[in-house]
Every structure is written in structure tokens, then in C-alpha cells.
Amino acid sequence: MKITRIEAWSVSMPLTEPYTIAYETIETTTNVFLRIETNRAITGYGCAAPDPEITGETPASVLQTIEAQFIPRLKGADPLRLAWLLENLKSQAGIQPAAMAAIDMALYDILGKVCRLPLWKLLGGFRERMITSVTIGILSEPATIEKAGEWVARGFKALKLKGGLDVEADIIRTIKVREAVGPEIALRFDANQGYTVTEALYFCEQTKQNHVEFIEQPTPKNEPELLGQLKRQTSIPIMADESLLTVKDAFRLVQSNLVDLINIKLQKVGGISEARLIDSVARAAKVPAMIGCMDESALAIAAGLHFALARPNVNYADLDGQIGLRGDPAPGAVNIHQGIIFPTDRPGLGCDLD
């Protein structure tokens, strides 16, 4: 089996509802899509969702990397030699995780199609579906409560509040949302690096009666030891997100007992292959994982879901990055019903692009 043709292109997708986090407001996202064709009429698809703040990449840089570095090395190669190809590309490209994630997804998609199995079954088949949280950006208190009510009315069982700009406002919004939605809805909080240790401890102290499931990356990503300070002083579980990009990061976080949980995003770690290694490190240390996402097409969300469904250590899902994207080329790649996210039953990632 040989790769005969590779094509990459970018698609800009406006959000139906822009949202704000601690360091930016997101109104639109641009993903890079990838098609890998083979001489056996099997085609694999991948997607990159670069973020300059997180991955250090842009859509233009991803396209340049794919066209200048990846295509010459992949054309004519056997796509089923997945590990060899990815290691070769990684050694050439350096740290370009979103670009690597797109290639990784497409090769896994081909593997699943060759085996005629959905990828989640091929990788282990631990579970069939997951509860996913849905994110509420930084809004006023009344608007946050209204949005929380809307999502709960649509059947979502887990809400993730964004914060990090004003700890007092974040505390009030968290308390009021808990009062509004009741005790049965899981409530998570993401400060996106916006807090000092003192602010994060204050938030945890003031909201500990509101059953916050965990607080995600409250402190700056380049100072992971601050996460450890928080972990030792609060009962609310501390999750690493932006501090985790590589297997080495995962090892440092869990070996030093800095976190209770980790957030694995395929776009920031480089795809399913790297995610499996990171999750194995975390599982060895008995640190559960969440599968997270960027603002990304349902195609990329599907890849994250297939990975999560196969891994016993991935206890949480935050796979809502496709909700509200206008013009997504892969709208049917996953299904969400009553806050539960399902894959399709088709082989590979379960989605073909026109």
C-alpha cells in the first residue's frame, strides 16, 4: 500500500457566538484540513487547529510545513508504517504539534479503514460514549446564568465556566450558576492561566461548598510548580492544561506530584500517538486524564473522541469545540445527544470530506 497524493487546505469558520477567555476573545477559527490518498482507493483525513498562544503555529505555518516538509517524505510511503512515518516527520519538523496532529489523524483514519473498524474499537474499545462538558465564556453574572440554563435545558450534564480576569466576579458567577442548575450538574472551572497562587486559593476557598469538579490551569503555564503549591493547599482537584505539551511535561507533572488531573488535547500534543504515550505516563502515576479540544472541526473532535473511548484512564471529556462553528466541512463526524457524545459506526474516524 502506498500514498499517492496529499492535499492540504485551510477553512475559516466563524463562531455563531464569540466567547471570551482570560487572554483573548474568539470570534472565528481557521483549521487546516488534510487528505491522504492511497493506491488502494482508501483515503484518510486529518485536521489541524493551530493556536499561536498554545501551539506556536498559524494556519499558514501549518500549510507550509505540510507542503514543504511532510508531503515529500510521505508520498510513496506505506501509510500503515504509522510509527516509523510519524517519528521521521517529528525529527524533521521539530515542535509543530497541530501539523503533526493532522498527519497522525489521517494515518490512523487509513488504518481504521483498512481494518474496517471504527478507530475507537481498533485502539481498545473501552467505552462506547462519554459525557462532554460545554464551555461558557466570560460573561456577566446574569448572562452566565442564562447561558447555563440554556445548556442544561438542552440536556448537557457538565458545564465548564471560563474565568481568570476577575476572581471576585468568577466566584460570584460560580456560586450563582450552582444555585441555578442544582447539585446534579457537574461544574468545572478554567482560569486559563489568569490567577496568581493567592487568587486561585481564594477562589477555591470561596467555592468549595459549590462542588466544583476541578479547576483547570489557574496559574501561568511556564511555572508548573505553582500548580503543585495549589494542589497541596486545596481540596479542589487541580488540572494541568497549557503546562502539558509533551511526554516529558507529563512525566515532570506527575513525578513531582504537581497535579491531580491532566488535560490532553491532540492539537497541543501532536496527535493520537503522542496522546497515548502521555496517558500511559499519567495512568502509571494514577493521575486521571480529560480529553480536551481547541476550536476545531468535528473531524478533529472525532479523533479526540476515538482516543478517549479507547483509554480507561480518560475519565472526562471536554469535546465542544465544534459546537457553533459555521461552515464546518465535517458536521456529521460526531453526534451529541443530551450531553452525551458518540462516534459514528463507520471505519476509521467515521467521516469522509467532499
Residue-wise pLDDT tens digits, 302-313? 999 999 999 999
- Give the Cα separation of 278 and 291 in Å (integer): 12
**Pair 145, 205 in one domain:** yes
- Check residue 94 and give its pLDDT: 76
Q: Is 247 helix (H, G, I), strand (E, B) or coil?
A: helix
**Pair 135, 259 in one domain:** yes
Using only C-alpha atoms, what is the Rg of the chain? Answer: 20
**Pair 321, 271 in one domain:** yes
**Is residue 106 within 8 Å of residue 34, measured between CB atoms?**
yes
Domain-located, residue 71 = yes
**Pair 152, 203 in one domain:** yes
Domain-located, residue 280 = yes
294-327 as b/e: b if 16+ CB within 10 A: bbbbbbbbbbbbbbbbbbebbebbbbbbbbbbee
Task: State the pLDDT confidence band at 92, using cuts at 50, 70 and 90.
Answer: confident
**Pair 156, 219 in one domain:** yes
Active site residues: 162, 190, 216, 241, 265
**Pair 28, 93 in one domain:** yes
Average of per-residue pLDDT values in the chain:
97
Domain-located, residue 75 = yes
Domain boundary (67, 89, 116) is at: 116
**Pair 150, 187 in one domain:** yes
Packing angle, helices 141-153 and 167-181, rounded to 10: 40
Domain-located, residue 354 = no
Domain-located, residue 353 = no
- Number of domain units in the chain: 2
- Check residue 27 and give its pLDDT: 94
Domain-located, residue 352 = no
- Domain extent, residue 27, equals 3-116
Query: What own/partner pairs with CB < 8 Å and gap ≥ 24 does 174-178 have?
Result: 174/203, 174/207, 174/210, 174/212, 175/206, 175/207, 175/210, 176/141, 176/144, 176/145, 177/144, 177/145, 177/148, 178/210, 178/211
Q: Tens digit of pLDDT for each residue in 191-216?
A: 999 999 999 999 999 999 999 999 99
